Amino acid sequence: MKKLIVAASMLALCFSVSAQDYKPVAGDVTAEIGANVVNTGLSGSPFSAVNTNFPNNGLLRFRYFIADKTALRLGFNGSVFSRTVTGTTGVIDYKQTYKSSLLGLNLGIEKHFNGTERLSTYIGADLLFNFLGASSKGEHINLGGAVADNNGYKVKGTNGLGTASTGDDINSAFGFGLRAVTGADYYFAEKAYIGIEMGIGFISYKNGKQKTENTTTGTTTTTDLSSTGSSFELTPAASAAFRLGYRF
């Protein structure tokens, strides 16, 4: 009987230690990838074309647990978009290229709750930093000989010059904002988890400078423009993401 009690105690201790191994503790680091399923302004821009150019961009995030239930977090997301339009108008053969890029950075903190042995729920907050880049260029080749060849333009800071009707009109910009989040991690293995997170907040953008180079009959004219202004989005902006991560 004594041996049976000792064996049962050892088994219970093993299960207890095993259960405690699932969740991160102070000093642990987690790394995760995720996919945004909802993104209205917090990782993109208030401009209408962003939902077309940067649809539900993915994310990469790291967390460092400074205490058993408190973690610092650092996240990245980014996208690159490019569109080329070609055609002929009269005797002019044209090729126009529109490019835009997004780099997002978030820095924040999480507070975790007890949950269960494998489930960890949390709330948190992020500072948001977004960098939008945009450019466009066009080449106009004369097919009839009446106009000099290789007319065109190059634009930095926006990509809506030429054919804004294509929906590519995005300005380069810097964005700063705040976001509140809530989420949950489920540890399906000792050091691996899946999770979901939702957030709501606001963001402010300031447009960048613009530079345009127009070439006509061999002569290039350069125009520099200062920032075209800023926008502030105080209306609710939401995000939601599914995540897959690993604990170190």
Q: Cβ distance 102 to 126 under 8 Å?
A: no
Distance of CA 82 to the CA centre of its chain: 17
Domains of the chain by start residue, with CATH: 2-247 (2.40.160.20)
Are the CB atoms for 224 and 214 separated by under 8 Å? no
Q: What is the pLDDT along the chain (248 residues), one digit of tens a residue?
A: 555 454 445 544 444 444 456 899 999 999 999 887 666 544 433 333 344 445 456 789 999 999 999 999 999 888 787 888 887 776 677 787 888 888 889 999 999 998 888 999 999 999 988 888 888 887 777 655 554 456 777 777 777 644 444 545 677 888 888 889 999 999 999 899 999 998 888 888 787 777 777 777 667 777 777 766 655 555 455 677 889 999 98
pLDDT for residue 16: 46
- What pTM was computed for the model? 0.72
Q: What is the DSSP string of 79-147?
A: EEEEEEEEEEETTEEEEEEEEEEEEEEEEEEEEE----SSEEEEEEEEEEEEEEEEEEEEEEEESSSSS
